[in-house]
Amino acid sequence: MNKTIKKLDAYILLFLLDLFCILSFSFFNMDKNSIIDFIMLSVLFLILFISYFKRTVWSIISSAISIFGLGSYTLYNNLLYGIEVIINTYMWMVAIPITAVLLAKIGEYINILEDTNINLQQECENLVTIDKTTGLGNIKSFYMDLDKEISKSKRYEKPLSLMMIKLEFYDEIKALIGEIKMKELLKEIGKIITSFTRKEDISCKLGQDTLAILMPETDKNGAEVVKTRIKETLKEINLNKNKENNHINLDIKIGILQYDKTVENAFEFKKIAEKELEYDV
C-alpha cells in the first residue's frame, strides 16, 4: 500500500508539473496561434475527463484521435496554403498523450487505494465481535463462545444452558418510537440483561430482535430463575415514557435449553433453543 501511495504522489507531481508547462508555454506563445491553442486546451481537458474515468487505454485512444485531427489540419494548411508549422503544434502533439496517460495512472492508483480501503473495512468488520448498539457480543462472538462452552461442557461434564430472548413486534415498535429510540431501547435491554447475569455468563445480540445468554455451569432450573427476573424487569419498560397514563409495554419471549450430548454442534444447539421460544406464553 505504501508503494501505491508513493507512486500516486509521483504521478500527481508529474501531472501538475506537466500542466504548469502546458499553461506556461501557451501563455507565452498566446499571440501566435491563440484560437487553435484554446481549442486544443479544451480538447485536452475533455480527454482528461475521459482518461480519469476510463483509464489508460481510452486515454491513449482519445489522445491518438486528437493528434490525428490536429496533424491532419496542420498538414492540410501547410500543403494547400503554405502555412508554416509552429512550435505550439508540436507541443500539443507531445503534451496531450503525456498528460492524459498521467491522469489515467492517477485514476488507476486512486481506484487501487479505494479497493484496498474497502477490503480493509470488510476485514475490520469481520474482526469485530461487539455489537455497536448494545455493547454485547455479536453473532460471530456468540458462535465462537458457544463452541468453546460446548467443548468445556463435554470435557468436564458440567451443565450449560442457552437462553434465547426475542423482542416481539420489533418492526411495529420501531415504527412507533423511531430508529434512535429503538437503539436506546436495545441498549437499555442489554444493560438489564447484563445486570442479571454473572461475569462468566456471555450475553450476545444475534439479530435485530434476538438476544442470547450463554450460561456455563448452569442447569435449566438455575436459568429459569434468571429468566423470571429478566422478564419481569423488561415488562416494566414503558415505550411511551412521555405519557404517564398511557403505558406501552414490551412483549418478550424467552426460551431456555440445557445442553446434552445428543446435540451435535453449536448451530443445532441454537436452532433447538429457538424452538423453545414457542413455548413461552
Whether residues 161 and 62 fall in one domain: no
For residue 134, is it within any domain? no
Q: What is the CA radius of gyration of the chain?
A: 34
Whether residues 88 and 66 fall in one domain: yes
Is residue 193 classed as helix, strand or coil in its secondary structure? helix
Name the least confident of 28-42, 148-162, 192-206, 230-244. 230-244
Q: Are 272 and 212 in contact (CB under 8 A)?
A: no
Whether residues 112 and 148 fall in one domain: no
* Start-to-end Cα distance in the chain: 56
Whether residues 121 and 151 fall in one domain: no
Burial (Cβ within 10 Å: 0-12, 13-18, ≥19) of residue 146: buried
pLDDT in tens, 55-74: 889 899 999 999 999 999 99
Give the total number of structural domains in the chain. Answer: 2
Whether residues 183 and 247 fall in one domain: yes
Whether residues 272 and 150 fall in one domain: yes
| Ramachandran assignment for 216, one of left (phi > 0), alpha (psi -120 to 50 degrees), beta (any other) | beta
Residue that finishes a domain, picked among 76, 96, 127? 127
For residue 152, is it within any domain? yes
- What is the pLDDT at residue 88? 87
pLDDT band at 30 (very low <50, low <70, confident <90, very high): low
For residue 47, is it within any domain? yes
Q: pTM, whole model, 2 decimals?
A: 0.63
Whether residues 235 and 210 fall in one domain: yes
For residue 189, is it within any domain? yes
Whether residues 106 and 28 fall in one domain: yes
Query: What is the extent of the structural domain holding 57?
Result: 2-127
Mean pLDDT, residues 179-186: 90
Q: Are strands 160-167 and 252-258 parallel, antiparallel or unpaired?
A: antiparallel
Round to whole Å and give the CA distance between 112 and 120.
12
Higher-pLDDT residue of 80, 27: 80
Q: Does 239 score more than 90 pLDDT?
A: no
